[in-house]
Amino acid sequence: MQLTPEILLHISQLLNVSIKSLMATIELLDEGGTVPFIARYRKEATGNLDEVQIRAIEENLAYFRALVDRKATVLASIEEQGKLTPELKARIEATLDLSELEDLYLPYKPKRRTKATIAKEKGLEPLGLYLWNQEATGVPLSDFAAMFIDAEKGVATVDEALEGARHIVAELISEQADYRKTLRQMMLDEGVITSRRVTDAPDPEEKFKMYYDYREPAKSIPSHRMLAIRRGENENVLYFLIELEAERPLAYLKSQVIRTPGDWVPHLQLSVDDCWKRLLNNSIQTDIRMELKQRSDAEAIRVFRDNLQNLLLAPPAGELTVLALDPGIRTGCKLAVIDETGKILEHSVIYPHEPKNDVIGASRILKNLIEKHKVKAIAIGNGTASRETDSFVKDFFQRENLSGIFTVMVNESGASIYSASDIARQEFPDLDLTVRGAISIGRRLQDPLAELVKIDPKSIGVGQYQHDVDQRQLQQSLETVIESCVNRVGVDLNTASWALLRYVAGINERTAIKIVEFRNQHGAFQSRVQLMAVPGVGPKTFEQAAGFLRIRHGENPLDITAVHPESYPLVEQIAQSLGKSIPELIAEPGLLEKVNKTGLQAGTFTLNDILEELKKPGRDPRDKFVAPSFRDDVRAISDLSSGMQLEGVVTNVTKFGAFVDIGVHQDGLVHISELSNRYIQDPSEAVKVGQIVKVQVLSADPKAKRIALSMKALMGPAPQRPNAPRPPAAKPAPNMNDKLAALQSKWKSR
């Protein structure tokens, strides 16, 4: 469906992009271009729009095309009824909002039987229109109403006739698009969310205690509180309303409806009262509830997206042999040794903890595996018995005087989900679930992105109320995050699983499986061009995907870079201009400073990207890997004391703070007020998932399993601007334990 020039101009202004860039991007998207490809390799056409801008164009394109389709349906329906006036048609065609379009269509929608339709069946529509139009006829209203008395139709008196007319007027008021728009905004701006506990509703853990008698303005209620209230309502613990003083909407409606004095005024006032109480209040409440839901969903999904992106782009330890331990007590610790490519070499089980306490046997197996496979790193899952296992491994290192091997605690969230998944069964059909879990832990250390893409992101544990938001919207949003991360980093064509390949631009799940099957049958790919031999990979798929695929030690040295094959001739031209071969050019990046850009047939953006890539061919954009370090003397909440300083890893960032793993099997909460010595509106301004941070313990409650932490306490006072006015005296700080209890109660309901 073609968009009108007015809509295109609106999108251009809304997103602050030029019409030229907008039209070029739409054309590329319509031709089947993927967002990563367009953002990376079509910068000249789009004017260097980034992924965020292109995705915004894609989303707005879908919205406004749906709007145009809906307009066509609405116009056809009203025209079929013979009620389409030039004014109404112009207004429908001019609207840029789906809600406004539905408001305009409301009077013409097929209706269920209402009080107004019953009144019309009794022949009272002319009387209702008389009240609505307020045009004097010289006849008293009571006399005019008497003309509609008809016992056969059920109108026995003047009062009954006027009552039916008022019902017609009430419905007319409720169907006015302008009134609805104004009242909707009024309720959003001035309404108050009021939640109450349902009488005798069970809430054994008091997850919703904070909301038993709660009020907050609708316009400012944060996403996490709105979602918590909605969850309480869904679990029949709470109910909530959007309260708005009736005088405000009634005064507005009467000012709009009553235009001239006359004997109809009292009846119009009654119609307005009836309309608000019976029709508009409930309808507008429903609209605002939906708007608040959508707003809260969008914010919660944004938080989830940001956390997931930071987790997926966590620094990889790289290609090294890893011994992974999935800790356990009664069932033992599962071991899996994987080589540099993630291939399983050997697996075993040790029992260094209660009840067997077989430290000698466990040490013997561990030593044998390390020496046999030349292990360089040990990855320990952070679940049950993780600190005990970490302590056992460190004691073992000390006894054996081992060096050159490092130990890392790895977040194992979702590993059990993976181990029972179809992907895991395909990869390791003959292995037990527990061994698959250990393999996943080891691979997460080597390359978090390559392993985490195999798991439903909702199982990774970095979301906030993820089960309460629109699941289709959440899934689509998370898929775009994964796609963006995968293509930003690039994928090794010869080692990637089909689960990773399916996120490469232009490649779907079926094609990814075909690529792996081809690789298994014919051996490693020697060049990107060879991808065209895979069944199902045509010119379009190759165009979209090739630049994001990497081949190490291939026939063409450019295949390890992000340079697209379509630009290989340009690189050859650059090499020739310097009198060098392409391998020499890559080996001596300093030569690139001598390139004469004016003599090359390429756009500025494309050329600059190519030169930057040739300076560091195949570079990984992720940060350098650094292993966090937990204190050996802190293994449980009972080991914590106020004022203790620790190192930890941020595991989740929410709207009210950040959760930090400090190695005691229970994440501590750094409330937003304790994240920084400067004012921040959002915790993401201070921390991100996977970040290693220094924290101070404020309080620790082993019984309630609550830990309050502070980063601000280790930062010192915030810097003062010169000659800045002295801040007012600080108010007494709220009790941190009370605050923590309320927040972590909410968090339990994730």
Say what the pLDDT of residue 202 is: 93
Do 251 and 149 have their domain in common?
Answer: yes
Say what the pLDDT of residue 274 is: 97
Does residue 514 sit within a domain? no
Say what the pLDDT of residue 722 is: 52
CATH code, 650: 2.40.50.140
Does residue 117 sit within a domain? no
Could you give the CA distance from residue 55 to residue 36 in angstroms, rounded to a whole number? 9
Residue for token pair 């309050």: 708
Do 128 and 202 have their domain in common?
Answer: yes
What parts of the chain have a pLDDT lower than 70?
A: 1, 718-750
**By residue range, what is the domain housing residue 100?**
5-108
Does residue 76 sit within a domain? yes
Say what the pLDDT of residue 626 is: 87
Do 181 and 236 have their domain in common?
Answer: yes
Say what the pLDDT of residue 600 is: 83
Do 274 and 167 form a contact (C-beta atoms < 8 A)? yes
Do 42 and 100 have their domain in common?
Answer: yes
Do 372 and 466 have their domain in common?
Answer: yes
Last residue of a domain, one of 304, 320, 344: 304
Say what the pLDDT of residue 332 is: 93
Does residue 536 sit within a domain? no
Do 300 and 233 have their domain in common?
Answer: yes
CATH code, 142: 1.10.3500.10
CATH code, 427: 3.30.420.140
Do 166 and 127 form a contact (C-beta atoms < 8 A)? no
Does residue 600 sit within a domain? no
Last residue of a domain, one of 108, 137, 171: 108
Could you give the CA distance from residue 287 to residue 547 in angstroms, rounded to a whole number? 46
Does residue 711 sit within a domain? yes
Do 164 and 298 have their domain in common?
Answer: yes
Does residue 590 sit within a domain? no
Say what the pLDDT of residue 725 is: 47
Say what the pLDDT of residue 664 is: 87
Q: State the Cα torsion 536-542-547-549 to the nearest 10°.
A: 20
Q: In the chain, how many domains are there?
A: 4
Do 132 and 218 have their domain in common?
Answer: yes
Do 139 and 84 have their domain in common?
Answer: no
Do 511 and 493 form a contact (C-beta atoms < 8 A)? no
- The Cα diameter of the chain in Å comes to 110
Do 473 and 408 have their domain in common?
Answer: yes
Last residue of a domain, one of 484, 500, 519: 484
Say what the pLDDT of residue 1 is: 62
Q: Provide the 10 A C-beta neighbour count for residue 271.
A: 27
Find all residues with CB under 8 Å of 82, minimum gap 6, and list them. none
CATH code, 12: 1.10.10.650
Phi, psi (degrees; rounded to nearest 5) at 701: -120, 95
Could you give the CA distance from residue 607 to residue 567 in angstroms, rounded to a whole number? 9
Do 424 and 358 have their domain in common?
Answer: yes
Do 267 and 357 have their domain in common?
Answer: no
Does residue 525 sit within a domain? no
**Model confidence pLDDT, tens digit, residues 376-394:** 999 999 888 888 898 899 8
Say what the pLDDT of residue 726 is: 46
Cross-strand pairs, 679: none
Do 446 and 496 form a contact (C-beta atoms < 8 A)? no
CA atoms within 13 A on the CB side of 108: 22
Could you give the CA distance from residue 517 to residue 483 in angstroms, rounded to a whole number? 22
Given 3-state DSSP classes, what are the helix, strand and coil percentages for the chain, each rounded to the nearest 5? 55, 10, 35
Length of the chain: 750
Cross-strand pairs, 192: 217, 243
Could you give the CA distance from residue 502 to residue 498 in angstroms, rounded to a whole number? 6
Say what the pLDDT of residue 685 is: 93
Q: Are strands 706-710 and 333-338 parallel, antiparallel or unpaired?
A: unpaired
